[in-house]
Amino acid sequence: MSDLWRLQASELARLIQKRKVSAREAAQSALGRLEAVNPIIHAIVEYRPDEVLARADDIDRALARGEVVGPLAGVPVTVKINIDQAGFATTNGTKLQKDLIAKVSSPAVSNLEKAGAVLLGRSNSPTFALRWFTSNSLHGKTINPRNSSLTPGGSSGGGAAAVTAGIGHVALGTDIGGSVRYPAYACGVHGLRPSFGRVPAFNASSPERAIGAQLMSAAGPMARSIDDLGLSLAALAAPDLRDPWHVAMPLIGADVPLRAALCLRPGGMAITPEVERGLIDAARRLTDAGWTVETIDDTPPMVEAGQLQERLWLGDGFDALAQAVAQDGDPGAAAVIAAVRAKVESMPPDVVKTSLVRRTTITRQWREFLSQYAVLLVPVSSETPFPDDLDRQGQAGFDRVWDAQLTMRALPAMGLPALAMTTDIVDGAPIGVQIVAAHFREDLCLRAAKAIEERGVPASPVDPVA
């Protein structure tokens, strides 16, 4: 069955578990698809076919012995290049780390393997994961398979492009400012940023991250269906003692009224007509599914939350980052450093301390707000996916990107879960909605997204155009 790469992860796993197809057949299909389309989109920067097939054979032998392999049995999954995978370089898109070989896998990768996944390849990312665009001087540029004139998103752009084009059934990414949600949106699929503490994280190859990154970054899946996001989250959330922040909370929470809030312009965002129509359409779909949807004028602090994210992300270690970017020489990363330098220079010396205190207050306000609604619907971005490399078109281009990504930047400051999903393609560009819920209520994000998905989403995977 050479077209196994087309299946959803959940469907493929069921077939393999029932031994109607083999994990080897699934791996061969995935490798064939990778070799056919990756030269066009350059989403995967390293893969080892022999190791992929050997892993698949191990799964087949375990199933033949009657062993329980796991919910992702034989499913090909890609892993972002800033996440430790034993035996591979954690390059983070920089020449400075091209030889930084991970000795052990990160908890998220280990959890995927424990769930039976087959790690297919390493997905591309911008240098130091700094952009909502995906290119670097080490691995090159990733192309959006739906529309080559648009960004594939970033920083998990390689993973989103891969899963959209049928290279792997799930892509593992990381998100500190939209790096899972935005690539999924840009490529026309779906991505889930879990709650802070839901998925254990740790890169043994690298020094401990600054406190802001620890509190805001999350590893999460991108996939072609909402069911596949849920299946992946269950695997990724398994406990791992290496992450002291991990909390083993139930994946399904208490029943709550199916009540949603729709905010078209959180924090006063100026959204395009296409984005507004997409949000209204998503709300109508939820209403059709039996939800109560209330339109609200604004949310708890969004602009200030975005400022907190900037301060916690950039306010600690910026000089070292700027020096590393200069040493690497990537022009995209250098443009980001140049554009945000003034923001950083205006920050007070105690920026991290004061931001952490203020974060507590704003997080409390958001928790109180989300106790009134099962989910909140907001824009993913204030506009449809950007023309590629827009952030390198001078300060005006960068500012347009930065301002459009308010919700991408703000929500991680509180550690909230958020799901970005695509609902339609308009004039060659994906549109969709971002679904936010209370801490550890990813199940509500998934439930709302499933109801929206059942009323139609763009077909995927797609064949990229050279």
d(CA 233, CA 229): 6
**382 catalytic, yes or no?**
no
- And the tokens for 430? 């994906």
Grouping H, G, I as helix, E, B as strand and the rest as coil, residue 433 is strand
Q: 280, 436 in Cβ contact below 8 A?
A: no
Q: 411, 432 in Cβ contact below 8 A?
A: no
**Other Cβ atoms within 10 Å of 97 Cβ, number:** 21
**217 catalytic, yes or no?**
no
What are the residue ranges of helices labelled H in 302-393?
Answer: 303-314, 318-328, 331-345, 351-370
Q: Cis link prior to 232 (omega < 30° from 0)?
A: no
Q: Which of 106, 110, 135, 155 is catalytic?
A: 155
What are the residue ranges of helices labelled H in 217-272?
Answer: 226-236
Q: Cis link prior to 183 (omega < 30° from 0)?
A: no
Q: Which of 10, 22, 29, 80 is catalytic?
A: 80
User: Could you tell me the CA-to-CA distances from 11 to 228, 323, 387 in Å, in that order?
Assistant: 9, 47, 34
Closest by CA to 156, choosing from 355, 432, 420, is 420
Amino acid code (one letter) for 332: G
Tokens 């190859």 belong to 205
Phi-psi region of 444 (alpha: psi -120 to 50; beta: other; left: phi over 0): alpha
Which distant-in-sequence residues (6+ apart) come within 8 Å of 119 by Cβ?
A: 52, 55, 76, 77, 78, 79, 85, 109, 112, 113
What are the residue ranges of helices labelled H in 202-302?
Answer: 211-216, 226-236, 273-288
**Other Cβ atoms within 10 Å of 368 Cβ, number:** 11
**179 catalytic, yes or no?**
yes
d(CA 118, CA 9): 11
d(CA 216, CA 363): 12
d(CA 460, CA 457): 9
Q: 116, 234 in Cβ contact below 8 A?
A: no
- And the tokens for 394? 């001078």
**Other Cβ atoms within 10 Å of 443 Cβ, number:** 17
Q: Which of 10, 156, 179, 205 is catalytic?
A: 179
Beta partners for residue 295, in sequence order = 262
Which distant-in-sequence residues (6+ apart) come within 8 Å of 408 by Cβ?
A: 132, 177, 178, 181, 182, 380, 381
Residues designated catalytic: 80, 155, 179
